[in-house]
Amino acid sequence: MTQITKLKTGSPAETRGSYSRAVAVGDLIFVSNTAGRNPDTKLIPTDLREQTMQVLANIERALAAVDAVLEDVVAARVFIQFPDDIDEVMTAYAERMRGIEPTLTLTSPPLGSPEFKVEIEVTAYRGASKGPVNEMNLGG
């Protein structure tokens, strides 16, 4: 039978919304839309780059709790509150995700709070970082 692990961080939002930060179903891992609140200080950086890096650090922490790494991410969905922030957020995102290169959905909807300038949700496959990669290019 497949093992299912539901990860909670103790966030009041998880209790209020009845959700898990991450759910691992066997080696497939789903990480909820994640904001840039530092879990130790409870603060959210106002700087776009810092906030993006904190979001990715929070995701990395959730993945580590279920024995996975950021390099196991195979799909990402990036939600940026303000369209004018897209270039700066994506530059920071690309800095950390270079070499991982999951699929990407990028959108600019309203987020749950004005202080959340970026939120990211990922799907990972435990061990994907260790597998052979066959890169294909459909372009010219």
pTM attached to this predicted model = 0.94
Judge whether 25 and 18 are in contact, CB under 8 Å. no
Structural domains of the chain, with CATH = 4-128 (3.30.1330.40)
Residue 76 has pLDDT above 70, yes or no: yes
Give exposure, 40-59, as e/b (b: 16+ Cβ within 10 Å). Answer: eeeebbeebeebbbbbbbbb
Cβ atoms of 62 and 21 closer than 8 Å = yes
**Helix/strand number for the chain, H first, E second:** 3, 6
User: Which tens digit of pLDDT belongs to each residue from 16-63?
Assistant: 999 999 999 999 999 999 999 999 999 999 999 999 999 999 999 999
